[in-house]
Amino acid sequence: MNQETERVPPTGPPATAEPDSFPWPRRMTFKDMETFKLCELQYRFRKEKRRKEPRTVYQIVGDLTHMGAAEDNPVAREAQLQEQLLKLAPETRLATEGVVRELIANAHALSNKQRVKGKQKEKVLFVCEATVPGWVLTARPDETGLIPAEEIPDYRGKRSPEPGERPGSREHLHLAEDEVLQLAEIKSGRRLQEQHKKQLFFAAMVAAVGQTIAYNGEIRLVVRLLRGKTEEVFWYQHAATERNMRKAAAVIRKIELAVAQDNFKAKTGEHCFDCPYRKTCPAFEAWQKSRRQSSGKRSHPAEGARRGRGGSGYLRLRSLPKDPKLPPAAGQ
């Protein structure tokens, strides 16, 4: 499900005599925040639900992988995968299927290494009030669960056992919690990117402030890198919350200013080739035109040829059509 269509509990704007003229709900996801920081105009298009470009085959691979990773029942997972694969063009289906199956298998292998209690098949939507009145922050990690603390080797409370203490016992671990809240994101690539980490820290902040789950301990954050079959672990400490909430509030104030002045600045650059609104963006068209004039060449190589950036490493898919015009996967 697209986060834009999620139903958020009505914690919304304070009662006021004036009708609320704000053009969209006052809520911000990590994606909203990062989009606004990247290009204010893209944020506006996103909030206005402007028509997007069809998803590329690489995005479809990510969609199917997430879908398969979230389904624990192998029979249901297979049926779901087959249904989605039938939507792909025949020439891409075979190669896509191989990659997706490999990534899903890696996701389950990484996930099954842990005994996660209360793992949510339907992902938990965390909501908290922002420090800017009327605004809420939302986050929905790929996986939310509780892990028995004694099973976490990197738990911060761990210390060397004292003489006579049983290694791994409660006394040994000095546990503040019997169970540790863990939030996980799965990423198709091989290498950790800064954004992966930031996304999870944002989710942890929202979980910590919003108390959708009653939990006050440190939060374990896991990024599963499916191509590399590895995971990176971080810990969120509540001491970071105030600073992170201030950063989110600073972005919200800029959004409010842009709305008030009806002025969302376009920022063109290489990122435009990944923007789902580029075909209808006047700033992109003007930028392309000036590039053509200044270089005397055609515009940048086809946008579709830019996939696989950032180390995602879908090497096996490089022979696929550049812009296959695939239908959106379910839930998109």
Note the residues at the interface with ligand SF4 (CB under 6 A).
39, 41-42, 45, 266-268, 271-272, 275, 277-278, 281, 283-284
d(CA 25, CA 328): 25
Shortest Cβ 44–ligand SF4 spacing (Å): 8
- Give the side-chain half-sphere CA count within 13 A for 307: 21
Which residues, at least 6 apart from 160, have a Cβ–Cβ distance to it below 8 Å?
Answer: none
Question: CB of 323: closest distance to ligand SF4 in angstroms?
Answer: 16
> 43 or 236, CB closer to ligand SF4?
43
Of the pair 278, 307, the CB lying nearest ligand SF4 is at 278
Burial of 285 (0-12, 13-18, 19+ CB in 10 A): middle
Beta carbon of residue 131, minimum distance to ligand SF4 (angstroms, whole number): 28
Taken in order 285, 23, 30, 315, is the CA torsion positive or negative? negative
- Burial string for 217-237 (b: 16+ CB within 10 Å, else e) reads bbbbbbbbbbbbeebbebebe
Q: State the amino acid at position 185 in one-letter form.
A: E
In the complex, minimum distance from the CB of residue 288 to ligand SF4, in angstroms, rounded to a whole number = 9
Give the residue with the Cβ less far from ligand SF4, 201 or 284: 284
Which C-beta is closer to ligand SF4: that of 109 or that of 305? Answer: 305
Tokens of 113: 């290494």
Residue 195 Cβ, how far from ligand SF4 at the closest point, in Å? 16
Q: By C-beta, is 201 or 273 nearer to ligand SF4? A: 273
